[in-house]
Amino acid sequence: MEIRQAIKTLVNENTKNVWYIVQGNEYTSQEGLIDIAKQIIDVTTKYCQGKMKYVLS
């Protein structure tokens, strides 16, 4: 998982928008990716409120 943050992209208490990229590999099912995306949305909205959605591509 990539978690390094430059000052320009740092997420902190003043952050208004966040973009998560969830990707797998040839062994990762689409259902697994969707499940993880939903878990990220649940945790983020629990602690940070706001609205979230996921987009499949």
**Residues 52, 26: Cα–Cα separation, whole Å:** 27
Contact (CB, 8 A) for 37 and 56? no
Domain boundaries, the chain: 7-48
- The tokens describing 40, both together, are 């990220």
pLDDT digit string, tens, across residues 1-51: 566 668 877 878 888 888 888 889 999 999 999 999 899 989 988 888 888
The pTM (predicted TM-score) of the whole model is 0.69
**Residues 42, 18: Cα–Cα separation, whole Å:** 14
Comparing 36 with 56, the larger pLDDT belongs to 36
pLDDT at 20: 86
Per DSSP, the three-state class of 22 is coil
**Residues 46, 26: Cα–Cα separation, whole Å:** 31
pLDDT at 49: 84
